[in-house]
Structure 1
Amino acid sequence: MAAVASYYANPTPAMHPHQYSKSRGHRVCDTCGVVEELGQRFRMCGGCMITQYCSQDCQKRHWPSHKGICQHTSSMIAAAKHESVSSAMSEDALAKNLRKFCSAHQTLLNWSVFQALQLRRVPANIRTMALHVDLKYRNHTDSARRFVVATARIVQRSVVESYDPLVAQDIQRREERCRRAGGIGAAVILVQCGAMSQVMPVECDSPSRISWDTRDDWADILARYVEGGRVDFQPVTTTSKGVIYG
């Protein structure tokens, strides 16, 4: 199984309804922490195709610390190509599409792990639990609708971290950074399809500073947005106009 570490911070403000189909997702420079704004185009690491940077200077400065996990991720993806995956999609295409899926649905996945782990009610769950999203590939003409959620369940965080020591170290690094900034740590998501998987540590702010409603139907909402190929999700919240889904 190829497990790769990625990082997505808190969700962006709501986009215009007609923008979501071309959204590249919310990107944060892994060196300086600046957020990508409309009109900008952050660069992706060419090795792991996961970490993003606001400039070439930031990418160069981050390389000494990023080199280990980057090279390890690349080798793990290459090794996974020898394992059995869906015959409907090549190994290279599956790895690429899984990364695209996580980028496009990062706001939805961030919200889902917050709800699944019940972090508003029990913030301490972030240290022991993780969200496992198992995807199924389907041969759909719309590229945005080629994955559906087979299962979404809570697992022990130690199980996810045991996949790979370097991934576990990267999660710990991000968790410590988040806590120094006043957050509660890194919530862990394991997104998997066949032999390919991606580990997403989501650095979480204090629940007291997050206005999202507590939702027990998070799994149904996650499945519905993924199956519909919709990437316009915004965290469910209650306003004077009622409940807003995105």
Structure 2
Amino acid sequence: MLADTACPPMKTALALRHVPFEHLGIMQPLLEARGYTVRYADMGVQSVPADEMASADLLIVLGGPIGAYDDKTYPFVREEAKAIARRLAARRPLLGICLGAQLMARALGAAVKPMGVKEIGFAPVTLTADGLNSPLAPLADGTPVLHWHGDRHDLPPGARRLASTVTCAEQAFAIGDHALGLQFHLEANLDELEAWLIGHAAELGAAGIDPSALRAQAPVVAERLSQRAREVFTTWLDRVEAA
């Protein structure tokens, strides 16, 4: 009798992308090594893929320079938030980064609003007690992470606060082991930081931030930050897949 040589079904990871250079970065090879087929959906360019958002094994909602409540200017945002709410209600694995975390917070009924200042640059986060027992634990050593946002969200109902900074109290939250929202950019590949500096040139200029300062800091923190980021994502994916 011939042995069954059928390959196991591929797992699917859908990433919602809002600007081309804010992609999965260092997370994509981690996903592919774990057997995920990765697909991007470009929000605003393509229709919101609500059915695929519900069915994918993993959904990642990436960052972008628009607001989580910018429905009037960017009408697709409302449909995106509704589809995220359905995913959360189904308790399916979901990671939100920056705008993605803010859209998760909106979907859960939390307020999202401008901070009045920009938090852009490399700085550590402070972990809460829940954070120390979460996949973010590797960041307890003070590793600087990349911050790049001007909006903040309230802690969503039922969520656990994991991390904060002096500028923004809500830096990360979790719901169970299946949903994680990060205000900062652990996914960013710092070898590609120049694309961020170009793409966000107007924002940096308006905030009075010199791109050369970020460019100089990146190689100093890159190796340590990339290692910690991989540890965080690996631990979170382990928990998601064990659930």
Please confirm whether the aligned pair reaches a TM-score higher than 0.5, indicating the same fold.
no
With normalisation by structure 2, the TM-score equals: 0.24
Query: Which of structures 1 and 2 has the larger relative contact order (alpha carbons within 8 angstroms, sep 6+)?
Result: 1
- Which structure's residues are more often strand, by fraction? 2
